[in-house]
Amino acid sequence: MQKLKLVMVGNGMAGVRTLEEVLKLAPDLYDITVFGAEPYANYNRIMLSPVLAGEQTIQDIMLNDVDWYAEHGIRLHLNKKIVKIDRKARVVVAADGTEAGYDRLILATGSTPFILPLPGNDLAGVIGFRDIHDVDAMVAASQQHKHAVVIGGGLLGLEAANGLKLRGMDVTVVHIAEYLLERQLDKTAAGLLQKSLEDKGLKFLLQKQTEQIVGKDGRVAALRFKDGSEIPADLVVMAVGIRPNSALAESAGIHCSRGVVVNDTMQTYDPRIYAVGECVNHRGIAYGLVAPLFEMAKVCANHLAQMGIGRYVGSVTSTKLKVTGIDLFSAGNFSGGENTEDIVLSDPMGGVYKKLVLQDNKLVGACLYGDTVYGAWYFQLLREGRDVADIRDHLMFGQSHVGDVGHQGQNKAAAMSDEMEVCGCNGVCKGDIVKAIKLNGLFTVDDVKKHTKAASSCGSCTGLVEQILASTLGGDYSPAPAAKSMCGCTDYTHEEVRAVIREQKLLSIPEAMEFMQWRTPNGCASCRPALNYYLISTWPREAKDDPQSRFINERAHANIQKDGTYSVVPRMWGGLTNAADLRRIADVADKYAVPMIRVTGGQRIDLFGIKKEDLPGVWADLDMPSGHAYGKALRTVKTCVGSEFCRFGTQNSTQMGIDLEKAFYKMWAPHKVKLAVSGCPRNCAEAAIKDVGVIGVDSGWEIYVGGNGGIKTEVAEFLVKVKTAEEVLEYSGAFLQLYREEARYLDRTVHWLQRVGLDYVKKKVLEDEAGRKALYARLMFAVQGENDPWRERAVAGEARREFEVLTV
């Protein structure tokens, strides 16, 4: 049977997503031809801002390269603009004369930037911000010129301004409205946003109306306002809106009105011609966000595949700003109005503002700044139209406070039900991601992107996808370090960053970022914790630990649980305790009404259900060191009873475990570290699956390294056999210090070992005696400089105030 001919005009995200969906539903129905006006295949247009900022490259944002089209038998014409549609002959014609006949035609011509009709708008250096060509022009201008002006204080304008500032330009944003992002934020949130952007070096002129773009020698030189004032400008970026690109459709006699008019099946008034994306007018609305465009694509593909059951009825949209270090979310009717009521939380000093708008006991709008953890949950409530009367009193504090499972910070993924949407752009729910991880054995965010499309569009849900990976894989999960650079904020690798910190004796995060010319002023969630660790591990007595660069558990000195409470684990050396410590624990449990107490697998007692505000008092009353159950540190040293009591024991494993734990417990590390000591080869303490496992034998001790429990269990490798307890401490300590000094942040010992090889470790720890002793000495120097500041400050009564600051 001869295939139908499907032609698509436009090669952007909405159009190619339509083709992907068609290929899923009816892979053999069409012979497909695509015309793209740009010289590039399908790329992620909404990630142009990170490219401009230098955080990603053009290659990083490619969604479907030319090989993808070839693999699916799609005829691709790049750099060919269609100028005519002959509806009678059913043929499209390109500017160079290339023709293609169609049985079905998709118009995916996108939008064009609106250029203000000002005198001088045709000067060199006046551009829009819509495609790779515009980004290239801005990057080139930043290398030759100093002053940039962005007209428009909307999402695109602010992202352009941020990128140009990171490229080294002096940037002023001119906005005609009273405050920034007036369509996405209210005045209070906009004020906080402006302050954050001013701290990054941006300048703002609000309620300013441009009269003329002033030129000199054919290039822009200044901007003149209606009040007569001027500012210098070597580059002017127009970011004042977009217009549906419907000129081609209009020229073919297809009904257009502020876009190509379509019905709920994405059909135009010509039933053979469909339209999707930013060129479309659906029910009087033209959408400029990716999530609605992908919803259109699914419906359009459903009808092109002759299924005939899809229907697009419009979209509820949400907004996020792609500027590193700024958390912003808005959705629905956040402005409120008649018959609505507002719930507001405002903390200007803390940089947090939340506004929820209710109408008839339903959430109809949300505006969040500084704390967007529960944005997805609010968006779900808004779209579902759920009655929130029963949870109104706790609504502002998020999902964890309304009886549903949920919590904040890096454990947010566990709060979500399988039906909750993770990726709004692609409509991917948590359950879809979990299923893909389990069925396909996925271990990285890139794997999840390929299998589910989650995090492959705007990228704002990448962190949440990573959390879902971590919660699904448990102890088996370890974020893959960047193959080339530490993160998008720098071109330096992890190893290069550590070397620079050591060679230049850098002692703080700002100092390190300034010296290494970080592209983002405040870094990101990936590089800040890593930088903090590299600084304090390299210069343990001199570098300043930055609490805000640690995860919430380390800041709170407790493990956050899925109901929003915390668990506290006091340290028990080698699993040993005594009557006095047990009484203290029991008294604390009574005083703070601890709902659950359990013995952990690491031979300690865990107190669950402690409120955040009670943590300082709990630690003060316990008067015991923290077990670091939350930390990238030494967690536990598990022991068996050994030769002191067991009839099979050959060595005193309990005392050896206590000695190891007391020696190393103040040690911060790239990841969590667990030790175990067994008194005989029967290995009751499970030493063979620990980062360092020590097993007693008749003639001394055997030391094993690089073990790991969890979904993907790794058995530790034999390192060395020694005779004395002192040698156990020295060899174990040298191995751990080598790991501390050379592993990438968030590497478990097993992953570091797999990269460097056991032979390398043996050379450093076994063969080089002076090197081993130096490693051990450096570890002892580091841990002796550490104290247990949380307990000390809590006892002194100073912790409560600091706790409130550190856990924001």
Write the secondary structure of 289-357 as one string of H (helix), E (strand) and C (coil): CHHHHHHHHHHHHHHHCCCCCCCCCCCCCEEECCCCCCCEEEEECCCCCCCCEEEEEEECCCCEEEEEE
What are the CB-based long-range contacts (under 8 Å, 24+) for 61-70?
63/13, 63/16, 63/456, 64/16, 65/41, 66/41, 68/41, 68/42, 69/34, 69/41
Residue 599 token pair? 């013995």
640 assigned ligand-binding residue: yes
- The position carrying tokens 């990573």 is 466
Look at residues 460, 206, 418 and name the one whose alpha carbon lies nearest to residue 330. Answer: 460
Where are the strands (E) in 44-152, listed by range?
62-64, 75-77, 82-86, 91-94, 99-101, 104-107, 111-113, 126-127, 147-151
Residue 407 is inside which H or E element, if any?
none
Query: CA geometry: angle at 425 spanning 419 and 427, to 5°?
Result: 25
Q: What's CA 98's distance to the chain center, in Å?
A: 44
Q: How many CB atoms lie within 10 A of CB 339?
A: 7
Contacts of 210 (CB under 8 A, 6+ apart): 116, 118, 151, 174, 223, 224, 225, 226
Provide long-range contacts, Cβ within 8 A and 24+ apart, for 780-785.
780/663, 780/733, 781/540, 781/541, 782/537, 782/540, 782/667, 782/737, 782/740, 783/663, 783/664, 783/665, 783/666, 783/667, 784/666, 785/540, 785/541
For 574, phi then psi, to 5°, come to: 60, 20
Q: Is the dihedral of CA 265, 267, 273, 274 positive or negative?
A: negative
Sign of CA dihedral 332, 334, 337, 341: positive
**Contact indicator for 257, 281 with CB cutoff of 8 Å:** yes
**Residue 87: both structure tokens together:** 């509806």
Say how far apart CA 220 and CA 384 lie, in whole Å.
50
Q: Is 684 annotated as belonging to a binding site? A: yes
Residue 297 CA to residue 310 CA, distance in Å, equals 10
* Residue 736 in tokens: 């751990």
CA separation, residue 483 to residues 81, 269, 383, 487, 492 (Å): 38, 51, 39, 9, 11
What's the rounded Cα separation, in Å, for the pair 724 and 729? 9
Cα gap 145→483, rounded to integer Å:
33
- Whole-number Å distance between alpha carbons of 54 and 491: 10
Say whether 58 sits in a helix, a strand or coil.
Answer: coil
What secondary structure letter does DSSP report for 764?
I
CB 736 within 8 A of CB 664: yes
How many angstroms separate the most distant Cα atoms in the chain?
A: 96
Contacts of 473 (CB under 8 A, 6+ apart): 437, 443, 710, 711
Tokens of 536: 């304090």
User: Could you count the other beta carbons within 10 Å of the beta carbon of residue 198?
Assistant: 11
3-state secondary structure 646-665: CCCCCCCHHHHHHHHHHHHC
Q: Counting Cβ atoms within 10 Å, is residue 581 exposed (0-12), middle (13-18) or buried (19+)?
A: middle
Distance CA 609, CA 558 (A): 11
Enumerate the known binding-site residues. 640, 646, 680, 684
Enumerate the known binding-site residues for siroheme. 684
Enumerate the known binding-site residues for [4Fe-4S] cluster. 640, 646, 680, 684
